[in-house]
Amino acid sequence: MASVPSLASTLQQQLADALTAALPDAGAADPLLRRSDRADFQANGILALAKKLKGNPRELAAQVTATLPAGGPIKDIEVSGPGFLNITLTGKAIVETLAARSADDEGRLGVPLKAEAGTTVIDYAQPNVAKEMHVGHLRSAVIGDAMVRILEFTGENVVRRHHIGDWGTQFGMLIQYLIEHPGALKHEGDASDGEAAMSTLNRVYKESRALFDSDEEFKARSRDRVVALQAGDPETLELWQGFVDESKIYFHSVFDKLDMEIRDPDIVGESGYNDMLEETCRILEETGVAVRSEGALCVFFDDVKGPDGNKVPLIVKKTNGGYGYAATDLSAIRNRVRDLRADTLVYVVDARQSLHFKMVFETARRAGWLGDEVKAVQLAFGTVLGKDGKPFKTREGETVRLEDLLDEAVDRATAVVREKADKVGLSEEEIVENGRYVGVGAVKYADLSTSAVRDYKFDLDQMVALHGDTSVYLQYAYARIQSILRKAGDAVPAAHPELELAPAERALGLHLDQFGEVLAEVGAGYEPHKLAAYLYQLASHLTTFYDQCQVLSPDNAPEVVENRLFLVELTARTLHRGMALLGIRTPERL
């Protein structure tokens, strides 16, 4: 199915052509088209053009309108104020464009693929081996998953990468404890039980940590074990792999609760770049990008200074010969550019690490690994706060476990679904399933509807509310449409371009037509909150439409019923697709 140009893009091109024809001396001119509350669209570009040509803007506007072709999508065009053009489209143009979108049998709603697709590596969902995932891991996972879905839908080749913390000095302690306490990782129950796996890992970590802090001989053996790990000792590596595998069981159980797919081949942790670290350091030193300072290999920047005014370096290799996080991150860039052929690297990482990534990216540019052909972007995100506006903690002041948070969200949502279950006729199985979809969707939407860089308050009562800017509101809008379609009887959705559209029908139709443009903007700027805002506005337009335009009224002519069924069905498909791109399910009945 060919892509369907939006009404805005068609109108933009017609106005640009008219500007060129009417004012050949102006060169290429932008009509500055935007949606308007005075008409369907307003074009403001003539005012700036008049200043450039030193002409009367209203006279120039009249010349442009006279040049526009007849019989196109424009119903009415009015010159307003100092040369603004207020443009109203024909109902026929709106309905025909939507009909073309509806006819797209590939499920894309006529949204075009990118003309030139590249390869983007997205680094997101980065838990640590042998450690529980907490609320701080939520945003990276949810934002990253949404951007993967959106970019793939636009036609980008996306490579997922989960840079898990699976290397470092703490593993010497854990492995040494396991050597001295064989079988410590074994646990009762199903081998795939993530909760049991994490409980066992927690116990081993606490016991080994207590021994490390109290027994100097064990501490010394643990440090020797780190050396053995880094040297590739087979026994040590085998035990290390046991910790990684047990942690993955837990990771997958948490991501399953998040209704998110994490594939093993996409998990390439810190250990995955070990063999590159020394070469990375050698290249940086030989090219002069990094220099020795007090025994460490460092990169300095003129604009990064400490409180004392001295330059703060990016430490690539420590004085003791150990590698810093920078060495791993720089090696990952080399791998992603050289081996994965990426032209864009996106890191969904906490905003508090912005300085680190700024220095890493600049170092990579100096080394020639990033440049005009390859860019790196940190999709920075803010902190999850409690209702009190402080970092989200338990009552005891502990970090909130991600699983506990999700379980509570599902419990709250299930209670909301159960309240309406009898009215809709939901079975217990449907209540439980929908409760999960609503609860997890509520958590994801609250995150994604906020600009990533901003902090946001985690308030479950607000998240599962049936009204306001929540995923539940959108899910109920979708379910309400499905209910209408089930009640339609013999009436079927069908487009009728000859009908005059009511104001609420026009507003809904024009908003539906913006879906592809919004996705293009979201993909270009890595801003999933704009898709969430679009979907909320779509549901709001739908609510107004319901209030002002009854769909199945016996007073309506058959073609009016069919056309309105067509509008709500396309709205449902757009809501379903948009929510899916955010990683949120839309139940058929709620």
Identify which has the larger pLDDT, 410 or 184.
Answer: 410
Average confidence (pLDDT) over 194-214: 91
Single out the residue of 157, 201, 159 nearest to residue 178, CA to CA: 201
pLDDT of residue 1: 56
pLDDT grade for 45, boundaries at 50, 70 and 90: confident
**d(Cα 40, Cα 457) in Å, to the nearest integer?**
36
Confidence (pLDDT) at 174: 95
| Confidence band of 371 (pLDDT split at 50, 70, 90) | very high
Instruction: Give the SS3 label for residue 472.
Output: helix
pLDDT one-digit tens code per residue, 413-431 = 999 999 989 888 999 999 9
As a whole number, mean pLDDT of residues 486-492 equals 94
26 vs 126: CA distance, rounded Å: 52
Give mean pLDDT, residues 389-393: 85
Residue 315, beta-bridge partner list:
298
Long-range contacts at 457-466 (CB < 8 A, ≥ 24 apart): 457/385, 457/386, 457/387, 457/389, 458/135, 458/384, 458/385, 458/386, 458/387, 458/392, 458/405, 459/387, 460/408, 460/409, 460/412, 461/412, 463/409, 464/409, 464/412, 464/413, 464/416, 464/438, 464/439, 466/416
Mean of pLDDT over the chain = 93
Q: Which residues pair with 292 in a beta bridge?
A: 297
210 or 185, which is more confident: 210
CA separation (Å) from 202 to 145, 249, 540? 27, 14, 46
Convert the pLDDT of each residue in 503-559 to its tens digit: 999 999 999 999 999 999 999 999 999 999 999 999 999 999 999 999 999 999 999
- Does residue 346 contact residue 147 with C-beta atoms inside 8 Å? yes
Nearest to 95 by CA among 496, 529, 548: 496
Checking if the pLDDT of 236 tops 80, the result is yes
3-state class (DSSP) for residue 437: helix
Q: What is the pLDDT of residues 453-474, one digit of tens each?
A: 999 888 888 898 888 999 999 9
3-state secondary structure 105-174: CCCCCCCCCCCCCCEEEEECCCCECCCCCEHHHHHHHHHHHHHHHHHHHHCCEEEEEECCECCCCHHHHH
Task: Note the pLDDT of residue 111.
Answer: 96
pLDDT for the residue numbered 82: 84
Q: What's the rounded Cα separation, in Å, for the pair 369 and 362?
A: 10
Percent of the chain with pLDDT over 70: 98
- The token duo for 463 is 């998240």
Which percentage of the chain shows pLDDT scores above 90? Answer: 74
DSSP letter for each residue of 408-433 = HHHHHHHHHHHHHHHHHT--HHHHHH
Q: What is the pLDDT of residues 302-329, one digit of tens each?
A: 999 888 888 999 999 998 888 889 999 9
Tokens of 387: 């209702």
For 569, the token pair is 């069905």
Q: How confident is the model at residue 276 (pLDDT cuts 50, 70, 90)?
A: very high
Q: Say if CB 570 and CB 512 are below 8 A apart.
A: yes
Mean pLDDT (whole number) for 25-42: 85
CA distance 322 to 230: 10
pLDDT at 26 over 80: no
Predicted confidence at residue 322, as pLDDT, reads: 83
In this model, does residue 29 exceed pLDDT 80?
Answer: no
Residue among 449, 474, 443 at smallest CA distance from 461: 443
By CB atoms closer than 10 A (0-12, 13-18, 19+), residue 558 is exposed
CA contacts within 13 A on the Cβ side of 73: 22
Task: Kindly report the length of the chain.
Answer: 590
**What's the token pair of residue 118?**
């590249």
Task: Answer yes or no: is pLDDT of 234 > 70.
Answer: yes
The whole-model pTM stands at: 0.94
Quote the pLDDT of residue 292. Answer: 96
What is the C-alpha to C-alpha distance for residues 586 and 195, in angstroms, rounded to an integer? 28
Q: How confident is the model at residue 192 (pLDDT cuts 50, 70, 90)?
A: low
Per-residue pLDDT tens over the stretch 94-144: 999 999 999 998 889 999 999 889 999 999 999 999 999 998 899 999 999
The per-residue pLDDT for 72 is 84
Provide, for the chain, the percentages of residues in helix, strand and coil under a 3-state DSSP scheme, each rounded to the nearest 5.
Answer: 55, 10, 35
d(CA 589, CA 152): 28
Place of tokens 């680190």: 356
Q: Which residue has the tokens 């400490």?
A: 306
Identity at 421, one-letter amino acid code: A
- Partners of 119 in the beta sheet? 157
pLDDT digits (tens, 9 = 90+) for 64-81: 888 888 778 999 999 988
CB 222 within 8 A of CB 211: no
What integer is the mean pLDDT of 184-197? 77
pLDDT, residue 535, reads 98
For residue 134, list its beta bridge partners: 401
Tokens for 259, please give them: 């209704």
Closest CA to 416 of 438, 433, 444: 438
The SS3 of residue 189 is coil
